[in-house]
Amino acid sequence: MSPSASSPTKMLGKQKHQPSTTRKNCCPCPGKSSEKELIPNFKSTEEFYRYLEKSKPTQLMVINFTTEWCGPCKKAKDPFEKLPDDYGDVKFAKVDVDALMNIAEELDVTMMPTFLLVKVKKLEKEHVKKDGMQGEHKGKTEPPEKEHVTKDGVQGDHKEKKEPPEKERVKILIKSYKMVELARVVGWNKETEEKLRKKIGTHR
């Protein structure tokens, strides 16, 4: 195994966390603005996809798949946090692989750190379709003899639909957005840092 990358040996139990953020300077210096570009560190699937939802389709995003126990990840931490200073038009994010193994598996991330260069594609809202009959119920009135069926929720999809539960909202977000991979860089050392910068410059 390359000394510049680590492979996960176990998957920790998933917990709900709010995304943490990292500042380049922990304390604002006198006379300088404390408003700094934040690099979110996601540990929640919903928060991650909410972040994708706010991304522009043409904007490059660099995602650092990392863990707290990975040695090369620790070495990459400070250099990665400086990248927004050089690429102001690029979005940067971190994904905690121990907390979001599902996203790492979806993107075939097996080594840490892995840096994915992606752009976000919004998909058609397939969750709206019901048995291939999308839009056919629009504007139609349910026949009187069938109205009683809607009371038990069997045929109530197009009538006073309630807000879906949290898990259902996450499923909808996952189905609505796709990350299109442009390039990836695995591991961290001087060579991989230069390689990452070149790829950012190519795809930005």
pLDDT tens digit sequence for 111-144: 999 999 999 888 766 444 444 444 444 455 555 5
Please report the sign of the dihedral spanned by the C-alpha atoms of residue 141, residue 144, residue 146, residue 150.
positive
Max CA separation in the chain (angstroms) = 74
Domains assigned to the chain = 37-125+165-203 (3.40.30.10)
Whether the pLDDT of residue 183 is over 60: the answer is: yes
pLDDT digits (tens, 9 = 90+) for 148-178: 455 555 555 555 555 556 667 667 767 777 8
Query: Which residue in this structure is represented by tokens 């840092």?
Result: 193
- In this prediction, residue 132 carries a pLDDT of 43
pLDDT digits (tens, 9 = 90+) for 69-105: 999 999 999 999 999 999 999 999 999 999 999 999 9
- In this prediction, residue 72 carries a pLDDT of 95
pLDDT band at 14 (very low <50, low <70, confident <90, very high): very low
In this prediction the pTM is 0.63
Whole-angstrom CA distances from 82 to 27, 49, 73, 141, 181 are 16, 24, 15, 58, 22
E strands in the chain: 20-22, 39-42, 61-66, 91-96, 114-122, 177-186
Percent of the chain clearing pLDDT 90 (strictly above): 42
Amino acid identity of residue 137, one-letter, is H
CA atoms of 201 and 203, how far apart (whole Å): 6
Please report the sign of the dihedral spanned by the C-alpha atoms of residue 141, residue 146, residue 151, residue 153.
negative
Whole-angstrom CA distances from 44 to 49, 80, 103, 180 are 9, 21, 10, 20
24 versus 143: the higher-pLDDT residue is 143
26 is an active site residue? no
Reading the block at residue 178, the tokens are: 């796709």
Whether the pLDDT of residue 29 is over 70: the answer is: no
Query: Which residue in this structure is represented by tokens 């230069």?
Result: 194
CA atoms of 26 and 137, how far apart (whole Å): 55
